Amino acid sequence: MAQKKGGRVVSDDTEPAHVPLQAILLADSFAQKFRPITMERPKMLLPLVNTPMIDYSLAWLESAGVEEVYIFCCAHSKQIIDYLKCSEWLSIPKFLVTTIESHNAVSAGDALRLIYERNVIHGDFVLISGDTVSNMSLTDVLEEHRERKKKDSNAVMTMIIQKSKPCLVTHQTRLGNDELVMAIDPDTKQLLYYEDTTENVKGVLALDKMLLVDNAAVSVHNNKLVFFLSLSFDSC
């Protein structure tokens, strides 16, 4: 509403400051599945149809409307930074790519803590691995994430998962001998249990009985892959 002040009309209507859509790209898988290949070359620079995989990830983020990307580099960080310097990614208008280098992180959690401490993320953001290949629209995912957060301030993460097709030869749904087990509320889609380990005995799953007591229905899966995450630091 406009108010008169000193003969001038002053408007109370101020446009909210633009908050760019941000993403964190982990250029380190913190795993050893591709050894010995990745002992000399980072997984994100391995070619897929003659193109480094990190290019697919950045191209998707740019096409999805992401404006700022923070690339977290750990193992073989110099190779990744040198590659980006010689690429087009540092010169695309309205697409700011910044590298963050650390040699102390041993997990994605360590990487997120370090980025949080640098105070460069200012709202909702997308977290992906540097070997993500996708053409999925982010619009609906981010909108659903924000609506869920309005209803529940503790809902700081939305995880995108997809069904993994088993290999025709080995019948495995995941690479190597690791197993990912998820328990999901089929009605609310809330993630109730998550375990990614190689220690489970095949065919045996131990769940806390309180999980079954507190939830009317639980859907258990071991054929899912985590695609990407939409998170919020400001609610953590």
Return the percentage of the chain with pLDDT > 90, whole number: 20
* Better pLDDT: 6 or 189: 189
Give the number of other CB atoms < 10 A from CB of residue 76: 19
Best CA proximity match to 226, nearest among 190, 206, 196, 197: 196
Q: Which residue has the higher pLDDT, 33 or 214?
A: 214
Q: How high is the pLDDT of residue 3?
A: 52
Tell me which residue of 175, 130, 151 sits closest to 32, measured CA to CA. 175
pTM of this prediction?
0.75
What confidence category does residue 1 fall into, taking pLDDT thresholds of 50, 70 and 90? very low
Lowest mean pLDDT among 5-19, 75-89, 92-106, 158-172: 5-19
Q: Is the pLDDT of residue 6 over 80?
A: no
Q: What is the pLDDT of residues 151-202, one digit of tens each?
A: 887 777 887 877 766 666 555 555 555 567 778 888 777 877 777 765 555 5
Residues 137 and 170: their CA atoms lie apart, in Å, by 32
Q: Are 143 and 164 in contact (CB under 8 A)?
A: no
More confident residue, 194 or 118: 118
Find how far residue 21's CA is from the centre of its chain: 13
Q: How far is CA 234 from the centre of its chain?
A: 16
Where along the chain do its domains lie? 22-135
pLDDT at 138: 81
- What is the dotted CATH code of the domain comprising 22-135? 3.90.550.10
Nearest to 129 by CA among 30, 233, 235, 22: 30
* pLDDT value at 232 more than 90: no
In terms of phi and psi (left: phi > 0; alpha: psi -120 to 50; beta: otherwise), the region of 57 is alpha
Separation between Cα atoms, residue 162 and residue 185, nearest integer Å: 16
Lowest mean pLDDT among 63-67, 71-75, 111-115, 149-153: 149-153
Tokens of 83: 């590659």
Q: How far apart are CA 37 and CA 7, in angstroms?
A: 73
pLDDT score for 95: 94
